[in-house]
Structure 1
Amino acid sequence: MDGLDLLKKHWDNDNFPKIDKEEIKRMRYKSSSSIVKWIFIISVIELAVGLLLSFCFITTEPDEHALLYDVVYNIYNVIFYLVIGYFIYKFFSSYRNIRNTTSTKVLLKTILDTRKHVNNYIQFNIYCITFAFVLVSIEKIVVTLTNQLAPKAYYIVASFIVIVLLFYALFLYIVRLYYKFLYRRLVSKLDNNYEELLKIDEPA
């Protein structure tokens, strides 16, 4: 339980020092700004790690059998990083708006926008992970069918598909846990700030 929750718990306690509503609002502003800042920082770290891993796995050996695959993969990378860059920009804009505003209306709108962007960011990453698994699987299957003779090729492909599906399910489960532990918790705190600010601004 953080300081804001303690204040809420003891608000009606006569023995607890009364704090002006404006002070509570300032604390909610500061809390929201900190939360969005962390969302922005985490997304930038994820982008940096993704770029580092992509450079680590770059191959310099040309493969004349994978030209179409390489083209699709490059297009996918361009779209992926452009969209991720867009989300990072939105997170930074939200952080800047909250940090610079003194309007509760602007803060509430920014919290709603941030929540929407986080949800879209998570869904986009999950879709991209799914597409990447499908793309890599198709490429491996095509290479196997090209280089191996039936029925051995079909046995290898069937085994590969089963292994990929199991690995995909496990990997997606871990990714969802990661997003739930980080982003969902932060968004939950933002939602809490949103509800409290609404209550504070309610007419007496």
Structure 2
Amino acid sequence: MDQLEVLKKEWQKREQELPKLSYAAIYSMLLKKSSSIVKWIFFIGIAEMLFWIAILFFIPDSQHKILVEMGLHKISIYVNLVHYVVVAIFIFYFYKNYKRIRVTDTIGELMANILRTRKTVRYFVYYNIGMFVLSTIAVNLFFYFNMHHLYEVVDLGEQALSEEKFQTYFIITQLIVGLAFLGLLMLFYWLIYGTLLKRLNRNYKELKKIEA
């Protein structure tokens, strides 16, 4: 076999190996990027839970007094405990998703783990928004049907209002504050988790191209 034939065979061999090397490099890069995104989801979930727990320590004494006088103090403690247990479970799943993605060996497994992570994050966001809406509605309905007692409990100081005006102002204020807070919460989730999920989705699409 002459030298030219040897060179041709060597070149053909390299051409066959090149796509494999290229796919392996792309997969490694997508694995690293996906793992980093899921790690950030895990860290942000922890930070979010710690933030809301910290806020509980800054609630004014007057607010605590209203909850105690209205008979909601113990209920609010139980609801918060259950809520944070559920949030902790979600964070545990974020951690599991992160550990699972880190040791993924195949494209199919990585794609499945990305889908699993996206689903977990969506459920987490839906749960938090749903919990806020339901708890806000429940508390305000309780206040509405116990408005006379609430009027007696709330210290209006020198700016005393009639019970009718107090009821009107209370409903309007709660509605505005509730909607504003809901809007901020949804904006936060859209900016933070929405951005991370979009990046994961891009990685998923790239993996689909490689798999094809």
TM > 0.5 = yes
Could you tell me how far apart the structure 2 residues matched to 1:162 and 1:66 are? Answer: 20
| Matching of residue 199 in structure 1 with residue 202 in structure 2 | no
Q: Hey, what does 2:7 align to over in structure 1?
A: none
- Paired position in structure 2 for 1:29: 31
Aligned to 1:145: 148
Aligned to 2:16: none
Larger CA Rg, structure 1 vs 2 = 2
Deviates more, 1:151-160 or 1:179-188: 151-160
> Matches of 1:64 and 1:173 in 2, distance apart?
29
- The aligned counterpart of 2:58 is 56
Partners in 2 of 1:50 and 1:184 — Cα distance?
20
SS at match of 2:172: helix
Are the equivalent residues in 1 in contact too, given 2:67–2:73 (CA < 8 A)?
Answer: no
Contact 1:66 1:139 in 2 (8 A): no
Is the counterpart of residue 108 in structure 1 residue 111 in structure 2?
yes
Alignment pair present for 1:66 and 2:76: no
Alignment check: 8 A CA contact 2:143 2:150 kept? no
- Alignment-mate amino acid for residue 120 of structure 2: H
Change (3 A) 1:63 1:97: closer
Distance 1:63 1:195 in 2: 50
1:185 aligns with 2:199: no
1:158 is displaced (CA, Å) by 1.9
Task: Give the C-alpha shift of residue 75 in structure 1.
Answer: 2.3
Cα separation, partners in 2 of 1:27 and 1:178, compared to 1, 3 Å: same
TM-score (structure 1 length as normaliser): 0.80
Change (3 A) 1:117 1:101: same
CA contact (8 A) 1:145 1:154 kept: no
The one-letter amino acid paired with 2:43 is I
Aligned residue for 2:105, secondary structure, equals: coil
- CA shift digits 1:79-115 (9 cap, x unpaired): 2111101110111101101111212222111111111
Runs of 4 or more above 4 Å deviation: 58-64, 138-144
Superimposed CA distance per residue, residues 153-190 of structure 1 (whole angstroms, 9 cap, x where no aligned partner): 23211221111111211221111111111101100110
Counterparts of residues 112-191 of structure 1 (less than 5 Å): 112-138=115-141, 140-141=143-144, 144-146=147-149, 148=151, 152-191=162-201
User: Structure 2: 5+ residue runs without aligned partners?
Assistant: 1-18, 153-160
CA distance in 2, matches of 1:63, 1:49: 22
Does structure 1 retain, via aligned residues, the 8 Å contact 2:42–2:91? Answer: yes
Percent identity between matched residues is 28
Deviation sequence 1:111-149 (CA, Å, 0-9, x none):
111111111111111112223323443455466412648
**How many Å apart are 1:58 and its aligned residue?**
7.5
What TM-score do you get using the length of structure 2 for normalisation? 0.77
Structure 1 gap segments, 5+ residues each: 1-17
Contact in 2 for aligned 1:35/1:190 (Cα 8 Å): yes
The equivalent position to 2:97 in structure 1, one of 94, 97, 100, is 94
Q: Residues 70 and 149 of structure 2 are in contact (CA less than 8 Å); yes or no, is this contact kept in structure 1?
A: no
The answer on whether the counterparts of 2:147 and 2:167 sit within 8 Å (CA) in structure 1 is: yes
Distance in 2 between the 1:75 and 1:20 partners? 55
